[in-house]
Structure formats: structure tokens, C-alpha cells
Amino acid sequence: MEEEYFIGVDCGTQSVRVAIYNTDGNLVIQSSSLLKVSTPNLGWSEQNPEEWWISLCKALKNLSKNIKVNKIAGIAIAYQRETFTIIDKAGSIIRPAILWLDQRATFEVKKMKEDLGQDFFLKKTGKFLDTTPSSLKIKWIENNEPEYHKRIYKVLDVGSYLNWKLTGHVTSTLAGADTMGILDIKTKEWSDEILSYLNLTSENMPQLVSSGSVVGKINREAASSTGLPIGLPVIAGGGDGQVFAIGVNSINNSELALSLGTSVVWGLHSEKYSISPYYRTMMGCLPKSYYYESVLRAGTYIIKWFIESMVSKEEQKIAKRLDKNLEDLLDKKIEKIEPGCKGLITIPYWRGGMMPYNDPNSRGLTIGWSDYHTIEHLYKSILEGIAFEIRLVLNGYKKNLDLDIRNIKIGSGGSRSKNFTEIVSDITNTKVIISETSENTSLGAVMIAAWGLGYFKSLSDASIHMYKEKLKITPNIKTHETYNRIFNQVYKKIYPCIKKYLNILGEEVLKS
């Protein structure tokens, strides 16, 4: 029997990545196309939705030129969550898409807390009332761009937009659409109360299906644009965080999925419904599952900021001349810096704090500076700060859910840094397992496609069969003891002490 392939799409914030795998989880070929993020005002983040489609078509056409497309069995899409666009009855895009990390809706957060209440919103959606969910930004459009709000025919998340372009059907996946902050997570239907508050109805929203469902088939127009065959099944994937967990084989409540990407995202599956300040409750891609997820808005985004803002042009030229990645060179330089960076500590709230404080206006800080510190100390303190934040939230998981988390399964770009992953292991005192691929989101989409088309009896079977691990890292007990002292005596106490003042500063910046 001839080998069959599956396409996994990861439409993220900065790029669209497409990969083809076989049923054994072996990568056959991959391609990517960059996306632009615009910041028309301070705290705003937007994209042109047409670029999602153009970039997807470009990446797919690159692949279709180098493989027999008749061997492809199906395609599934994972996508950046909370990001949404709005279209009118003619199918035209009304305004640029507003991204998940956009922070414009601060007034709407305060007003919705007064009108609906934080407890109502949390119990109904499993999400916190902050600037992240799409619903707050839809309300912002109504308040600030009423002429656009009146024209809304459909509100589309990234997944439903791409499904629509591929098949003509406006369909979204429960494990992804729920992040919009409009879904009643218990009934698995759009919330009439929240829609009414937004002056919308369920007719303005996509049809909802579970991960693994066939949402349609590639139509003639999409086939011409992508190079894929007409009639190829399109399977419902899910939000990138939920799909990522499948791609790193985190399919039970003892193994944590950790994505070291633009934002740092971690979570685990459970059949139990629970809400907590330490995580947001999501729909899982696994049948009958919930996914408890926590987010640090700025993850490797801070590393990118550090390189662009703090690393000298000369250093950047040296890296380019040596054909080396700057992160790899920095990784080498921090190897000899002892844990704790000689008293330098960074709180990594460059894009606000989510769990457990729910402070979108909070900002990052670094304390403990002296004249013996270097730029490399700052860099390592950023990595340590991200890991300390993971530990802070994990303590809440363990307390609230009574769990024994045995392994942390890491993927995405940050997994390439051995120092970073060792820091995570040492600070959390947990074994870290690194995936063979860093493209776990597209792999997770492929697992869902293969399961949805009947190649595996369950999604768990598909994940187990197609996942491959590269490396195990065991925590260094002596190093953990050092980090443990720093965490308990200093790190977890800093932010509560100055929370009020950082919020004031954050609000002042947004006013300017």
C-alpha cells in the first residue's frame, strides 16, 4: 500500500508554517511564510486577514510543487487564538484583524466587570475578564467604531476564516473558538447573554464542531490558489495551544505541555471542569476533555526584544559573519553565570501579567543591579524569570487540582536552547522531555487529521504513535536548592508588594 501523508498548518502570530508528515509522524517536507504585525497605536496589535490566506497559499504551493498531492489524505489547521476578523454580507473584510495580544480594550474590561461581573464571565467562559478574549475587543469596536459594528455579518477567528477560504463553510473548532470569550464552556454553545451584551446573535458566529470533524472539502477556487486537489478533506484542528499539547504527547494530567514561543503557554488535560486564578479553562482537542492553560504573554518575545534593543550592532554583525544565531551565541555566554545571576531578578511582564494576578496593565521589572552585572546577566535573569513564573503558577495547579506533575514536555523555538530548558527543569524541580521536532503545533494538527480520517482509533493513539522525543533533562538538585531559596524568599513576594505601582505606570503609558 502506498504511503499517505497529512498536512498540518500552524497559523501563528508571526508566520504560517505548513508541514507534511506520514502516519508514523516522520516529517516529509515543510514550508513557511512570514506574517506582519502592525501597531497603529500604543498597545494595539493588528494584522491584515488576507495575509493569513496569502501566506497559507504561498506555503502550500511551495509544498505542492515538491510532492505528489494525490498522496495527501487531509489537512488540519491550528491557529492563533482570540485573534479575529469581521466580514460583511458580501464577504468583505470590514477592518484589520485585532490580535490576541492587543491591549486596547481596558475600558471595556472595567465596564464588563460592572455590567456582567468577573464571576459570571469566568464561570460561563472559563476565562478571565481581561484584554485577551475577543469579546472585549468586539465591544471596543462597538464603542469606538460603531459604523463597522453595524456592518458585522460574521465574526471569524483565524481558524474559521481559513476554513471558509478553503471550503466555503464558516466553521470553527470548539477547542479554539472557546478562547474568544463568547462560548458557554459547559453547554458548548455560543452564550446568548454575552452575545446580547455585544449586540450580536449566534447567527453572527461560526458553526461549532469538535476537533477531528470534517468541516468540508477543498473547493475549486481554493485548489487553484493552494495547489491542493479539489475534494481534499479539511479536518477541524483547534487553537494552537490545545493542538500543541497533542503534538508534544501531553494527553494526561501528569504531563504538562510547555510551549516556549512568542508567548509562553503551558497546560494539561483533565475530564474535570474547574476554574482557578492560576489557569484558564479551555476546551480540549481530546474528546470530553478540558484543558487547563496558563499564559505568560511575553515569552521569547522578550528575548527578541532583548536582542533588538540590548545587543550591540557589532555583536549582531559578528553573528551574521559567523552564520550563527544570536540566541545560540548568548546561550554560550551565559553558561558560566551562576544560578540567580548574582542577585539580579527579572519579573517578565513585558506584555502584562495574566495568571495568577490577572493584571493586563502590569509591567516587567528587573531588580538587584550592581556594577558587577553585565548584559549577559540580564539575559539569563530573563530566562530565569520566565521559569520562576512557570513555577509560581504550577504551585497553584498542584494545590488547586491535587496533581502530581511528573514531566514537562517542551516544544517550540525555545526548546532549542539547552540552557533555557535546564533552567526550567532546575527551577520547577521537574523532569523535562524535549520533542524531536520544534514544530509540535503542526504535528499536533496532523495527529488530529489522521485520527479524524480514521487512521487511528483515538487521538491519544495518534499522539502516542506519531510523537518522538529527543532528550530528557533531569533537575540538578544543588541548583534547584539555590533557585528554591530565591523563589521562596524573594521572587514570589516581589510583585504583590509593588503591584499597585506597576499598574499605575502601565495605565500612564496607555494614556500617553
For the four alpha carbons of 198, 177, 15 and 291, in that order, the dihedral sign comes to: positive
In sequence order, which ranges of 187-343 are alpha helices (DSSP H)?
Answer: 192-197, 220-226, 240-247, 300-310, 313-321, 326-333
How far apart (Å, rounded) are the C-alpha atoms in residues 296 and 298?
6
Average pLDDT, the chain: 93
* 365, part of any domain: yes
For the four alpha carbons of 471, 473, 474 and 478, in that order, the dihedral sign comes to: positive
* 198, part of any domain: no
State pLDDT tens for residues 188-218.
999 999 999 999 999 999 999 999 999 999 9
- Asked if residue 231 has pLDDT above 70, the reply is yes
How far apart (Å, rounded) are the C-alpha atoms in residues 194 and 121?
9
Indicate yes or no: pTM above 0.85: yes
Mean pLDDT value of segment 117-128 = 95
* 138, part of any domain: no
Mean pLDDT value of segment 259-278 = 90
Domain count, the chain: 1
At residue 128, what are phi and psi to the nearest 5 degrees?
Answer: -85, 150
Q: Output the furthest CA–CA distance in the chain (Å, rounded).
A: 67
- pLDDT for position 415: 66
CATH of the domain at 292: 3.30.420.40
* 136, part of any domain: no
How far apart (Å, rounded) are the C-alpha atoms in residues 461 and 232?
23
Instruction: Show the domain range for 371.
Output: 1-86+158-177+211-512
* 109, part of any domain: no
Mean pLDDT value of segment 322-341 = 88
Reported confidence tier of residue 1, pLDDT bands at 50, 70, 90? very low
CB 482 within 8 A of CB 339: yes
Residue 471's DSSP bridge partners are: 434
Reported confidence tier of residue 313, pLDDT bands at 50, 70, 90? confident
Mean pLDDT value of segment 95-101 = 95
How far apart (Å, rounded) are the C-alpha atoms in residues 42 and 44?
6
For residue 110, with 0-12 CB atoms within 10 Å meaning exposed, 13-18 middle and 19 or more buried, which class applies? exposed
Q: Tell me what percent of the residues of the chain surpass a pLDDT of 70.
A: 98
State pLDDT tens for residues 336-364.
999 999 999 999 999 888 888 888 778 89
* 200, part of any domain: no
Virtual CA dihedral for 455, 461, 463, 468, nearest 10 degrees?
Answer: -100
For 17, which DSSP code?
E
* 114, part of any domain: no
State pLDDT tens for residues 5-17.
999 999 999 899 9
- pLDDT for position 510: 65
Place of cell 545587543: 311
Q: Which residues are CB-neighbours of 464 under 8 A, at least 6 positions away? A: 249, 251
- pLDDT for position 297: 83
* 122, part of any domain: no
